[in-house]
A and B are shown apart, each in its own frame.
Chain A
Amino acid sequence: MARAVTTQRKIINTAAAWAVGLAIFFPILWTILTSFKTEAQAIADPPLFLGFDWTLENYSVVMERSDYAKYLWNSIIIAGGSTLLGIIIAVPAAWSMAFVPSKRTKDILMWMLSTKMLPAVGVLYPIYLLFIKLGILDSKIGLVIVLMLINLPIIVWMLYTYFKEIPGEILEAARMDGATLKEEVIYILTPMAIPGIASTILLNVILAWNEAFWTLNLTAAKAAPLTAFIASYSSPEGLFYAKLSAASTMAIAPILILGWFSQKQLVSGLTFGAVK
């Protein structure tokens, strides 16, 4: 028998879901609202919700004062580049783990994931010094490499779980049909794994886009992405909440829009193939 859901219960559940959803979304909403206030209204007590004089002034000031396009471009290159590089490395890695596992495969997977448990700041010095030595401090290529490395365990894990769901017999059939390893990956595995690869790419673009620790510590001006753009409005000139909010809104807008349009992919990606 299906579980009976009473109307009353439905209302309570819906209300609760909305409340949780709004609570999660509220900081973003508040940031967006604040970005349209004047500096005085932004710090008004009691806080103003909607009843203030809407202004675009903050945006024009932010646009005037900093080169938004440059930061945006850096973010796109860093997030896109690190994800692309990660995928190129992770597809063969996940393939071998999923289809020709050895006794140690599970251990390697766990070990890879365990690197994510390490606090990033613990390796800041070695990496910083390495970057100086290699002359890639404040360069896009440096950040592409670092962000690729920190997200690689997640990319490999996600692809591994997706590949695991592809029946081995199909790949064997391809082998019987005369496909070489390369053809097997190109014609059979990749097309079948496209939904999984797409959600992996999406999730990693978001992770890389929002990554602040390394992007702030390893860049100065040249390669600074949007995270640095937001940070530049936070402390040195005192607290300009409205301008900070405008900068934040501009920084999160691209990824918010991307996320909105790919919700379905994202959800299936985050559930790691648990829902078939």
Chain B
Amino acid sequence: MGRITLDKVTKSFGDVNVIPPLDLTINDGEFVVFVGPSGCGKSTLLRLIAGLEDVSSGQIRIDGEDATNLPPAKRKLAMVFQSYALYPHMSVRKNIAFPMKMAGVPEDEQKRRIEGAAKALNLTDYLDRRPGQLSGGQRQRVAIGRAIVREPSAFLFDEPLSNLDAALRVNMRLEISELHNQLKTTMIYVTHDQVEAMTMADKIVVLRAGHIEQVGSPLELYREPRNKFVAGFIGSPKMNFIEGPVAAQQGAHTIGIRPEHITASASDGMWSGIVGVAEHLGSDTFLHIHETGLAETMTVRVNGEFNLRHGDKVFLTPEMDKLHKFDAKGLRI
């Protein structure tokens, strides 16, 4: 079981208030992603849950029990760090065995669990190597193995993929999602990468300056962002924001439209502009369009076959039902 509740939790470092009073409930078995720009307090929040930092005030409950003052080891949580944090002087086997050794798990049970984890994570051939002899992806798997064998009530991941190269990151993303499907254990995952958040999460928590901006499923956040910040942060490429008379016509201070909700045409449309950089991804092309009179640059997603070049005139038409409207404070109307 791994239901985690944060009740008016705050954290200050000296005079700097990193987390203002914050409430959050993470249900058992959920895959929750904390996402936000760097310095938003997401890692601090995770470390508070882990017990690596003490809360300044408020309460953290794990499975209904007050864990606010429990040391990390007593919280039954396992953590995977960005730097893997493997013990360099121990073999993979000993690394994985370490938490069980500390917990006093009997030897044969240790062996059984190590073999199980090694098999699940494709590490069987590497058990006697040192972490230094492994690749980044293998090291990350060892770190995950070390977390699994503890059979924790929740896993905490602190930007676990940011040290891996792009291709490996996509693979590991799938593996972690797969692991969650198998284990059905609560997972809390911190990342600054909204793609990771969107693809992995059951529930995304968007943070800014320690505040929760919005909590919801990936698609909820995508479809109904509560404010301009969330709208701009979730979705790639970023949502286009338009202010001024065009927005006023819609009865809003700012309107937002995602690149994929604009149709581009060489002949006619609502707005017009000049094609700047075109990023070809093959299946899709992202056009950066200037001189629209709406915003400095508009980004539009078009089909990969769409044939306009740098400097060409282009016409744009937004899908009116996909328009997001925000008031002067940036809140959704």
Chain A residues close to B by CB (< 8 Å): 167, 169-170, 172-179, 183, 187-188, 191-192
Choice from A167, A169, A178, A192 contacting B99 with Cβ under 8 Å: A178
Whether A191 pairs with B78 at a CB distance below 8 angstroms is no
Flag if B72 contacts A167 (CB, 8 Å): no
The smallest beta-carbon distance between B37 and chain A, in angstroms, is 22
The answer to whether B81 touches A169, judged by C-beta atoms less than 8 angstroms apart, is yes
Contact of B50 among A176, A178, A179, A192 (CB under 8 A): A176
Alpha-carbon separation in the docked complex, A174 to B88 (Å): 12
Residue on B nearest A177 in the bound complex, by CB: B99
A172 contacts B52, CB within 8 Å? Answer: yes
- One of B83, B146, B150 near A169 (C-beta < 8 A): B83
Picked from B71, B77, B81, B89, the residue with its CB within 8 Å of the CB of A173 is B81
Which of B71, B73, B146: most chain A Cβ within 10 A?
Answer: B73
A176 & B78 in contact (Cβ 8 Å cutoff): yes
The 10 closest A-B pairs by CB, nearest first: A178-B102, A178-B73, A177-B99, A173-B85, A169-B85, A191-B89, A176-B79, A169-B81, A170-B85, A175-B72
Chain B, range 245-294, C-beta contacts under 8 Å to A:
none
| Nearest neighbor of A168 in chain B, beta-carbon distance | B85
A2 to B103, CA, bound (A): 53
Q: Decide: A177 and B102 in contact? CB cutoff 8 A.
A: yes
- A178 pairs with B89, CB closer than 8 A: no
Are B83 and A188 within 8 A (Cβ)?
A: no
Give the contacting residue for B103; candidates A170, A178, A187, A188; CB below 8 A: A178
Interface check B98, CB cutoff 8 A: yes
**Are the C-beta atoms of B79 and A183 separated by less than 8 Å?**
no
Interface residue ranges of B50-80 to A (CB < 8 Å) = 50, 52, 71-73, 77-79
What is the CA–CA distance of A167 and B73 in the complex, to the nearest angstrom? 19
Interface size on B, residues (CB 8 A): 22
Q: Is there contact, CB below 8 Å, between A183 and B52?
A: no
Residues of B within 8 A of A177 (CB): 73, 98-99, 102, 146, 150
Other contacts beyond A172-B81, A174-B87: 20, CB < 8 A: A167-B85, A169-B85, A170-B87, A172-B52, A172-B72, A172-B85, A174-B98, A175-B52, A176-B52, A176-B79, A177-B99, A177-B102, A177-B146, A178-B99, A178-B102, A178-B103, A179-B98, A179-B102, A187-B98, A192-B89
Considering only CB atoms, which chain A residue lies closest to B76 in the complex?
A: A178
Q: B residues within 8 A CB of A187?
A: 98
- Chain B hits for A170, CB < 8 A: 85-88
Q: Which residue of B lies closest to A166 (CB)?
A: B88
A177 to B88, CA, bound (A): 15
Which residues of B are found within 8 Å of A169, using beta-carbon distances? 81-83, 85
Contact A176 B77 (CB under 8 A): yes
Of the candidates B82, B102, B150, the one having the most CB atoms from chain A within 10 angstroms of its own CB is B102
Bound Cα distance A169, B83 (Å) = 7
| Nearest CB in chain B to that of A183: its residue | B102
- For residue B155, give the distance in angstroms from its CB to the closest CB of chain A: 11
Binary interface profile of B, 38-59, with partner A (CB < 8 Å = 1, else 0)?
0000000000001010000000
Tell me, in angstroms, the Cα distance from A187 to B88 when the chains sit together: 12
Please, how many angstroms separate the alpha-carbon atoms of A24 and B52 in the complex? Answer: 52
The answer for the CA separation of A179 and B101 in the assembled complex, in Å, is 9
In the complex, which residues of chain A have a beta carbon less than 8 angstroms from the beta carbon of B71?
175
Q: Which residues of A contact B146 (CB under 8 A)?
A: 173, 177
Determine if A173 and B79 form an interchain contact, defined as CB atoms under 8 angstroms apart. Answer: yes
Q: Looking at the complex, which one of B72, B83, B88, B89 makes contact with A176 (CB distance below 8 Å)?
A: B72
Assembly CA distance A92 to B86 (angstroms) = 22
Tell me the B77-111 residues at the A interface (CB within 8 Å).
77-79, 81-83, 85-89, 98-99, 102-103
Contact among B52, B78, B87 with A188 in the assembled complex (CB-CB below 8 Å): B87
Taken together as a complex, chains A and B put the C-alpha atoms of A31 and B89 apart, in Å, by 44
* Nearest A-chain residue to B79, judged by Cβ: A176
How close is B139's CB to chain A, nearest CB, in angstroms? 12
Closest to A188 in B: B87
A167 to B88, CA, bound (A): 11
- In the bound complex, residues from chain A placing their C-beta under 8 Å from that of B72 are 172, 175-176
CB<8 Å pairs between A and B, sample of 5: A169-B81, A172-B85, A176-B52, A176-B99, A179-B98
Closest to A175 in B: B72
List A contacts of B102 (CB < 8 A): 177-179, 183
A174 vs B85: C-alpha distance in the bound complex, in angstroms?
A: 9
Q: Which residues on the B side are within 8 Å of A178 (C-beta)? A: 73, 99, 102-103
Give B115 Cβ to nearest chain A Cβ, in Å. 19
Q: Do the beta carbons of B85 and A175 come within 8 Å of each other? A: no
Q: Which residues of A contact B83 (CB under 8 A)?
A: 167, 169
A173: chain B residues at CB < 8 Å are 79, 81, 85-87, 146
User: A192 and B78: CB pair below 8 A?
Assistant: no
Query: How far is B85's CA from A175's CA once the two chains are assembled, in angstroms?
Result: 11
Please give me the residue from chain A that is nearest to B102 by CB atom.
Answer: A178
Q: How far is the CA of A169 from the CA of B80 in the complex (A)?
A: 10
Chain B residue nearest in CB terms to A169: B85
Nearest residue in B to A193 (C-beta to C-beta)? B89
How many angstroms between the C-alpha atoms of A191 and B94 in the bound complex?
14
| Complex CA–CA separation, A174 to B150 (angstroms) | 13
Q: Considering only CB atoms, which chain A residue lies closest to B74 in the complex? A: A178
CA distance A75 to B72 in the complex (A): 47
